[in-house]
Amino acid sequence: MAQQRGLTLVMGWLFVLLFNSPVGCRWVSEYSGGCWNTSEVEPFNCTSDDTTSLYKKVKNALWCTEIRPVQQPWDILNVKLGLTIAGIHDVNEKDQVIILSIVTTLDWEVPFLKWDNATCGTNKISYPKSELWLPDIQIEEFVDEDRSTDLPYVQLNYTGGVHLVQRKKVFATCDMDIYRFPFDVHTCSLTFHSYMLEEDEMSLTSKSREFIQRSSVTSDSGWILEEVTQVNNTFNLTTKRYFSSVRYNFTIKREASLYVVNLLVPSCFLSLLDMFSFFLPPHNVDRSAFKMTLILGYTVFLLITNDILPASGSKTPLINVFFSLSLALMVASLLETMFIVNVSNNANHYPRIPRWLHVLVLNYLARLLFMSPKPLGVPREVILNPHAKVTPDTSGEAMVPADTGEKDEMECAAVVDELKKVAREVLTIRFQIEEHLRPNQGNNDWKMIANVIDRLLFLFYVLFVVASYITIIAIWASSTVRHSK
């Protein structure tokens, strides 16, 4: 029994010595999954102030690189995260992906990595990061392979602080709404957390928002970085595992000047030209040719600017609706001009206007548009001979002297018959001329309907142009005011 007790006591002391030694700690970490230093570590002194002596001391001090650098297993490692948005490469509205260049900094403290800066001669050194424990911080919104620039060194401070810098090209998902293009504003987020160390093992916090806003780029590749805010919260992977996380919400705004000059201004000019074409005579063929030229030019303009417009699979941008309505009004104005030209040339062949159409258009719409039907003109009196206003004598009796012979009577009767035929033909011609010159009520009504439709479409065109311009200016002004704030 005494021998067994002595053997147990010796083995216990050996285990304590092995556990507290660097080699023993590495052996225990391999088989048990962890090790820690229970004693308070004092800053070490260098034998000389040269670089070789300091690096040897640092390498000896890093006695446990496989697990968290904490003194007690229940201690929480505090990691401070810093974010700098170095550039906005591209925004893919169709795939809902934003491509960023970011610079992240991680700062934590290794309690057993301290040295006396007076004897060692420096406050900080660069050290290979492959020989240190590094936190596994990942981005939740990442949708592509990791394209970070590998910096092989970290910075060590004499107080035990570790400073790690990483530069990454991030393909992150972002919920975008391009309904107000090109005056759209989007809010995206980047969430940093660990997938291994839970919140009772590592606490992740962020640097100040002022640092992020000051160090990040403000404008790049057609986008303006308006605001960056951070939120510290807890991320739960399962119902039993919770991780400390930091989410950065950043707001970006599209620079609209390029799109206003290349898209909106030409479209507005073409719409104004088509609107002012209503002042051309509607019965003239030149008005139709002018409108057809405008439609052709507007179609070519839409084809050229198709590559500038964003591709989106969710909601149609408001500018596409504006372009479609402008083209629809141009086509409607061309069809209305063709109708007016047809009415002007073929109104005589049209049937009588239906009663309901006459009441709707001529009695109501014409009054709303301040148009009144023109009254029929007074029939013109056609006088073939100003000296022949007396009704001709058609009694058939010729004024023949009594002493004229039978032959003369027959000649006079023949002359009278011929004169009667000429008089009837002249009267027929007169009636036809009067019928031609007399105003036709049916033709007048059809032309009046065409004029009312022309005025109504012109009014719609004016309202559309005014409403569109007011909407564009209001959205642009609101986005500018928001950016200035």
- Residue 210 makes CB contacts below 8 A (sequence gap 6+) with none
User: Which tokens sit at 229?
Assistant: 């805010």
User: CA 142 to CA 165: how far, in whole Å?
Assistant: 19
**Is it the case that residue 296 has pLDDT exceeding 90?**
yes
Query: Within this chain, do residues 478 and 363 fall inside the same structural domain, yes or no?
Result: yes
Query: Within this chain, do residues 126 and 265 fall inside the same structural domain, yes or no?
Result: no
CATH (domain of 460): 1.20.58
CATH (domain of 203): 2.70.170.10
Q: Residue 309: give the domain boundaries.
A: 259-371+453-483
Query: Within this chain, do residues 105 and 208 fall inside the same structural domain, yes or no?
Result: yes
Cα Rg of the chain, angstroms = 48
For residue 248, the one-letter residue type is: Y
- Residue 377 makes CB contacts below 8 A (sequence gap 6+) with 439
Q: Is residue 433 a part of any domain in this protein?
A: no
Q: What is the mean pLDDT of residues 453-479?
A: 83
User: CA 479 to CA 260: how far, in whole Å?
Assistant: 13
What backbone torsions phi and psi does residue 300 show, to the nearest 5 degrees? -65, -40
At 44-95, the pLDDT tens digits run 777 776 777 788 878 877 766 777 888 788 888 999 999 988 888 888 888 8
CA dihedral 357, 360, 366, 369 (to 10 degrees): -130
Of the listed ranges 219-233, 339-353, 444-458, the one predicted with least confidence: 339-353
Query: Within this chain, do residues 349 and 201 fall inside the same structural domain, yes or no?
Result: no
In terms of DSSP H, where are the helices of 226-317? 257-259, 265-276, 285-304
Q: Is residue 202 a part of any domain in this protein?
A: yes
| pLDDT higher at 232 or 103 | 103
Residue carrying structure tokens 């640097």? 207
**What domain count does the chain have?**
2
Query: Within this chain, do residues 189 and 304 fall inside the same structural domain, yes or no?
Result: no
**Is it the case that residue 210 has pLDDT exceeding 90?**
no
pLDDT of residue 120: 80
Query: Within this chain, do residues 175 and 94 fall inside the same structural domain, yes or no?
Result: yes
pLDDT of residue 144: 80
**Is it the case that residue 16 has pLDDT exceeding 60?**
no
Query: Within this chain, do residues 362 and 321 fall inside the same structural domain, yes or no?
Result: yes
**Is it the case that residue 148 has pLDDT exceeding 80?**
no
> How distant is the alpha carbon of residue 161 from its chain centre?
46
Confidence of residue 279 (pLDDT cuts 50, 70, 90): confident
| pLDDT higher at 156 or 35 | 156
Q: What is the pTM of this model?
A: 0.66
Instruction: With CA atoms as reference, report the closest residue to 75 among 104, 46, 36, 49.
Output: 36
pLDDT of residue 78: 92
Query: Within this chain, do residues 222 and 328 fall inside the same structural domain, yes or no?
Result: no
What is residue 402's three-state secondary structure?
Answer: coil
pLDDT of residue 38: 42
Query: What is the CB neighbour count within 10 angstroms for residue 401?
Result: 9
Indicate the residue among 187, 220, 254 that finishes a domain.
Answer: 254
The answer to whether 29 and 86 are in contact (CB under 8 A) is no
pLDDT of residue 74: 85
User: Which tokens sit at 93?
Assistant: 């509205």
Strands 161-173 and 97-109: antiparallel
Of the listed ranges 90-94, 249-253, 288-292, 374-378, the one predicted with least confidence: 374-378
Of the listed ranges 28-32, 185-189, 275-279, 406-410, the one predicted with least confidence: 28-32
Taking CA atoms, 410 is separated from 350, 416, 423, 424, in Å, by: 53, 10, 20, 22
Q: What is the mean pLDDT of residues 416-433?
A: 81
| pLDDT higher at 427 or 312 | 427
pLDDT over 70 percentage in the chain:
76
Q: What is the mean pLDDT of residues 350-372?
A: 75
